[in-house]
Structures are given as C-alpha cells and as structure tokens.
Structure 1
Amino acid sequence: MTLDVDALLAPPSPVAARALDVVRAWSSPALVNHCLRSWAWASLLAPTIELEPDRELLFVATMLHDLGVTPSFDAHAVPFEDAGGAVGSVFALGAGWDAARARRVGEVIERHMWTSVDPALDVEGHLLEVATS
C-alpha cells in the first residue's frame, strides 16, 4: 500500500484550508509542520480504533491548537491551550460556523492537553490529544 502524503495532508474543506493559512501566517515553519504531523497522526489513527471524526472540525482544531504558544497569541493570564481554544472559537465564528460548533473547536483545543480524553466524550478531542502526545 502506497501512502499519498499530499492527499493525507490536504484540508478537507475550504474552511479547513483557511485554518491552514492562519497557522502558516502566525506560526513558525516548525509549528506548522507539528500541526500537519498531528493531523496526519489523528487521521491515520481514527480508522484503526473505529472512530469517525468530523474531519473539518478536527482539521481546524489541529491546525490552530498551538496558536496560544505563538508571540501574537501568547496569553499570560490563562494556559496556552485556553488561549488557543479562544482563537479557534473566534476563527470558527468568523468562518460562519454556529456558536455551538465554534465552541467545539475551542473544547477540542483545550482538551488536547488533558492526560486522557475519553473518545466516548469527545472523538476529536481524543484524537488530537493522542496525536500530539
């Protein structure tokens, strides 16, 4: 079996492509590559443990999950994952997602730093937590 890396790393929607643009604009190349690797791990892991994530939601959260460590979004009053979650929620609202879906992006980003995320609670959060561990 041959793995098509370009297809694996391709954003699954136009909104997801904008999230990739955001991480490229505001992050170092190393952080961009970390986000893309995290997406690849999460995408490859999901079918092996019989999970079917919302791919657009997972991609957006994966691209934006570490923006809280970048100089422009570094928050001193809250943990970086909370700052990144806020950025993710704002991005999603700006992309036209409803408030509940936008909040989900924030939750997934915040939960990626949990010791463990139960997939029964949050499929996307579980995949991002494992992929970034």
Structure 2
Amino acid sequence: MTETMIDLMTLPDTPVARRALALVKDTESPATAHHSIRSALFARLCADHQGARPGHDYDPDLLFLACVLHDIGLTEAGDRDQRFEVDGADLAAEFLTAQGLSADAVDAVWEAIALHTSPGIAERRSTLSALVRTGIGMDFGIATHFVDDTTGAAIHAAYPRLNMATTLIDEITAQALNRPEKAPLHSLTADFLRERATPPHTTSLETATSNGRWGN
C-alpha cells in the first residue's frame, strides 16, 4: 500500500473522532456504519480532487465527523419525530456539544447532516456541506470518475458494502412506517415509501446503486 493510500485509509485519531466512530459502530447496522466511513474517505478524495485546502477551505475534522455521523438518525436514539436527516443532525449536535466542540463547529456539522439529501442547497451553504453531500453520493457510485480502481478496491476491502442501499432504505422506511411524520410530502423518505409500495417494490436509488460502479 502506498504512502498516499495509507494516509487516506488512516482515520482521524482525535478523542472526539474516536468516540464518534465508536458511537456509529455500536449503534448503527454494519452496512450503514461502513457507508458512513466510506463516505468520509470519498469526501476526502473529492476535496483533494477539487483542490479544497484542509484548514483553509474546510475543517478536515468536521468533515470526518459530519460524514461519519450523517446517518445517526437511523439509530434507535435518533428515531424521533422529524425527517431522519434532521433527527440525525440534532443527535449529532447533542453528541458533539457534549464532547466540547464549539457552537460554530456544531452548527456547521448540523447543517451538513441536515442538508445531505438536499441537492442544490447543500452545495451553496458551505464547502463542508458540499463535500459531505458529494462524499455520500460517491458511495452510491455518483461522480467517481477521478477515483482509480485500486483506491476503490482498498476502501471496499476495509469497509464492505453489505447491500448498503437496500439496508439504508429498509431502515429509513421502517422508521417512517412507524412514525408517519418522518415522511412529509415531497421528502426523500416519502418517495422511498411510494416506490416500496409500488411493484416491483424496489426504489430507483437501489436500482441505480446496484447498476453503478460499486454495486449495492
């Protein structure tokens, strides 16, 4: 493994990063946890590809935290009464506040998580929000043209996919079926519920991911 690859695969080792990673591994399904970590790695690759400067254009520690925690709303503790993105942003903010992060840092992570399913909005709020959304999208096989096959294989060897898209949508729709207020009209979750209720009962996101570069 090259030095560059080792750098990429080495996750942040700050106390808050370690605790966030432990929280995700302990409370999320393996498929969702792996997706969250891969999203962080892809976001870093995207930042480098775009020439975004860590410490100047974005905070690399906050990028890791926002990516790793972006689906924490799909856990038992995150299953509240809002869209899963917003519930996740709230839970992440509570966790990071308890870890002693500044209000500005917490707010930046909250925004990136809350907007990660909002195309055209996340990209205009901050570099952090844009990178988080892009890194997550890359894990679904979107805009990965600049990632070489060796790098992609290393990421997936460390964090296997485990039918990620199907698992995520199972979790999102299960929450919404139990709490209809989590699927307001025109939301992503409402779309998932509609597609799952209509033959062949497979969402377009699952199909696109399965047919995409990384598979499901």
Root-mean-square deviation (Å): 1.9
Q: Show the counterpart of 1:94.
A: 98
Give the residue type in structure 2 aligned to 1:69. Answer: L
CA distance, structure 1, for counterparts of residue 117 and residue 100 of structure 2: 27
Following superposition, the deviation at residue 30 of structure 1 comes to: 0.8
Q: What SS class does the counterpart of residue 15 from structure 1 fall into?
A: helix
Larger radius of gyration: 2
Which runs of 5 or more residues in structure 2 are unaligned?
A: 138-216
Question: 1:1-80 to 2 correspondence within 5 Å?
Answer: 2=2, 3-4=4-5, 7-52=8-53, 53-75=58-80, 77-80=81-84
Q: Show the counterpart of 1:104.
A: 108
CA distance, structure 1, for counterparts of residue 30 and residue 10 of structure 2: 15
Following superposition, the deviation at residue 6 of structure 1 comes to: 7.2
**For this pair of structures, how many residues does the alignment match?**
131
Q: Percent identity?
A: 32
Q: What SS class does the counterpart of residue 132 from structure 1 fall into?
A: helix
Regions of 4+ moved over 3 Å: none
User: Which one of the candidate residues 95, 114, 123 is aligned to 1:118?
Assistant: 123
Cα distance change, pair 58–23 in 1 and its aligned pair in 2 (3 A):
same
1:87-113 per-position Cα deviation (integer Å, ceiling 9, x unaligned)? 111111111012222121111101111
CA distance, structure 2, for counterparts of residue 23 and residue 66 of structure 1: 9
Cα distance change, pair 5–37 in 1 and its aligned pair in 2 (3 A):
farther
Following superposition, the deviation at residue 7 of structure 1 comes to: 4.8
Which runs of 5 or more residues in structure 1 are unaligned?
A: none
The question of whether the paired residues in 1 share the 8 Å contact of 2:93 and 2:110 is answered with: yes
Cα distance change, pair 44–86 in 1 and its aligned pair in 2 (3 A):
same
Cα distance change, pair 15–126 in 1 and its aligned pair in 2 (3 A):
same
